[in-house]
Homo-oligomer: A and B are copies of this chain.
Amino acid sequence: MSNEYTKMWEKLNLDLDAHDALLEVLGKFYGDIYLSQQNRLKGMEYLDFVLSEVHGLRIKELQEAKEKGQKVVGTFCIFVPEELTLAANAIQVGLCAGAEAGKEEAEKIVPRNTCALIKSFIGFKLARLCPFTESCDLVVGETTCDGKKKAYETFGQYVPMYVMEVPQQKNASDRELWKTEILRYKDKLEELTGNKITAEKLKKAIKTVNDKRRVLQRLNKLRAVIPTPISGRDVLLINQISFYDDPVRFTQKINELCDELEEKIKASQGVVPENTPRLLLSGCPMAVPNWKLPYIIEGSGAVVVGEESCIGTRNTRDLVDESGESVEEMIEAIVDRYLKIDCACFTPNQERLDNIISLAKELKVDGVIHYNLLFCQPYAHESIKIEKALQENGIPMLAIETDYSMEDVEQLKTRVEAFVEMVTP
């Protein structure tokens, strides 16, 4: 990234030296993991550009929008309905949570036995390294796990925090609670922005967010073809960037990329040989720049053909019903759509088990790698069940538990390589 943004970062009170150092490391990391790939789609250039400008041009856009009176809402979870945020003419962005930053400082205010993602967003704030967090007029958390739920109490001392309560079951009374939370968020947005969420605006916003999901569904269909026409790393990056980029522009660019993908498929051009072991990656979300495990997997001679994750199919599988005309009808549709999310926060959560099995079969995978952030209890519990269910369906699974450090890379490589060898058809 260029120095033309230094003034902006200074204004945002970033720690400039540390931020420069971070960008340098990230740039190198990105070069190794992404730019080194052969036969990449031309359309990935847009993603390379967005990523290289994620703390630059995109932040500039946010700042310009703020100057014109728009508000910026930061989130960490796919339960925060972007439809409402957009309908209030605000911008919704994911916040930095995918790298080790300010870890020591973070561990002074949250327990050491907290998952890396949580320590990361707190560390990024304390170390003044995330221009997204610093641009936020509101940070919206949710009660999806103990770690985040309690960390937000502390995080709220540093950012303008707002918490949505996600229920833990899916009974009628849970739907009622969730509807109340959706309406409370709508009120909050109207208060924050001064904009009324009208039926017209909401209808348009639902369409915008659905379109983003549709193009990611299209991408997921195309990437599943044999021979695999795009690397798993690239698809993960696209999913990651879907949380940062302008949704309309993003949808257009990814549709273009999908057109290119169709050409490649017609020409039977894969990025890997036809007999490459196909793996499904399942579990905890991988926020930018958490590419450690996918890099190891694809460096071990396998290819990732699906991400069963919040930064993956969990976020894109279900659309909001578009037939509603009144605000009330659309709110109902939003409530229903978000309650379809098969997050491990629910009990029971049989849907996720079923979804993984059918996804694994649909994608014709040779195995599943379950990714668990150390100390993430909900996914760790489900991992044990998933392994059993997959086994019963004849699909091998490797359970990986790790954090953002690079200390275990060699150990992970050994385990992944052994697994890939085992599942190679």
Contact = CB atoms under 8 A, between A and B. Distances in A.
Contacts of A269: none
A380 interface: yes
Interface string A129-161: 000000000000001011101111110000000
Contact of A377 (B150, B168, B171, B374): B150
Given A165-B174, A177-B174, A153 B381 contact: yes
B111 A149 contact: no
A176 interface: yes
A169 interface: yes
Q: How many copies does the complex hold?
A: 2
A382 to B, nearest CB: 7
A151 B348 CA distance: 11
A196 interface: no
A163 interface: yes
A70 to B, nearest CB: 29
A167 interface: yes
A150 B110 contact: no
Given A176-B176, A180-B173, A150 B113 contact: no
A352 to B, nearest CB: 11
Contact of A150 (B111, B374, B381): B381
A173 to B, nearest CB: 4
Interface string A179-208: 011000000000000000000000000000
Interface in A96-111: 109-111
A378 interface: yes
Contacts of A381: 110-111, 114, 146-147, 150-151, 153-154
Interface of A: 109-111, 113-114, 143, 145-147, 149-154, 163, 165, 167-169, 171, 173-174, 176-177, 180-181, 344-345, 347-349, 374-375, 377-378, 380-385
14 contacts: A110-B384, A113-B374, A113-B375, A113-B380, A114-B381, A146-B381, A149-B347, A150-B344, A150-B382, A152-B347, A154-B384, A165-B171, A165-B174, A167-B177
Given A143-B169, A149-B168, A176-B176, 8 more contacts: A111-B384, A113-B375, A143-B347, A150-B347, A150-B377, A165-B174, A173-B177, A377-B377
